[in-house]
Structure 1
Amino acid sequence: MKLSSQSLLISVGVIALLTLSWGAGLLGVPYQLETHRIGVCDVQIVLDQIPQGKAITEEFNGLRASMENQLRSLEADLRKLEQEAQQLTPGSDSRRDVEKNFALKNAELIWKKEDLEKEFAVKFQERREVLVGLVRAAIEEVALERQLDVVVNNVSRSENFKVYVSVWAKPELDITMEVINRVSQK
């Protein structure tokens, strides 16, 4: 295909016009792209390092241990009932009573386990929400002091604990330690 000098001139003119208008908005009014200051914060490190986070971890480790002890006690009762039933004559009234008691204890164990898991989850969520609120407030304080427009979560681990970086930023933009210090002081 052969281009005429006129169509070549029009093409060059369009390219020149587009190049010159690159920095202009509608109606040729020039604009400048806004710049935003961005900071990063590894929220999980903050939650792990602050005294409040450590206290919650200890509290819930204790709660979980207590729950497990309660369940182990019920399981021990079930094993005793099972052994008792095996020593009794099959079909006897006493064996049927023990088997009935075993079924009731087993149902109690299942319900207790579900109740304890729900209680644990609710308490954990309530405590975590308060803690995350403190961390968010501290992030906002530091961000305002540093005049940051955006703070993104810098995650540095995966579920299998392989380290990766989802966000890169200059080290001076990382506010993680400042947030830890702020929340620790509260």
Structure 2
Amino acid sequence: MALLLLLVVTSALPPAAASVRNTSAGCAIIRPPRDGGIRYRGLTQEQIRSVQVLPVDYEIEYICRGNRVIVGPKVRKCLPNGTWTDLSQHSRCLLLCARVWTSLENGQVSHWPLGPPVEGTALHYTCLPGFILIGRNSTHCNKMGKWDTPKPVCHLSLLGTQSLQQ
């Protein structure tokens, strides 16, 4: 089946393109990230189960289960040398934490790393001048997809800017 798939792809090329194209058989099937899967475009379930090698230039797309998002490359392409693009960068399916925590009325929220708030993300809260922070000034998204501390609030201060940490 893999040979047939490769023949279909290479036979569709003009003769000049076929002669300069690497003759590599393609790329071996790779495993999806934990809690994820792979979308194989244009292949039936039966073809996916039987194929061992995908042709050069074929693209796969990672998908995640449940309330998870891809962190890292979402799409990989088979290169002429028989490897997939961006293999040095891991793709992971991580739980998404509530986005409502990424904003703060009368304050600012900075987070690391940049991107969607997934497990491992840290948020740091500060209030605008004239407001005080009630609660913790930071929180982390844990492996359960929950923030580890209650969301703080910024209250108007009559004494100036300060922080009241609980």
TM-score band, normalised by shorter chain: under 0.3
- The higher radius of gyration belongs to 1
Question: Greater relative contact order: 1 or 2 (C-alpha under 8 angstroms, separation 6 or more)?
Answer: 1
Greater strand content:
2
TM-score by length of 2: 0.23
TM-score by length of 1: 0.21
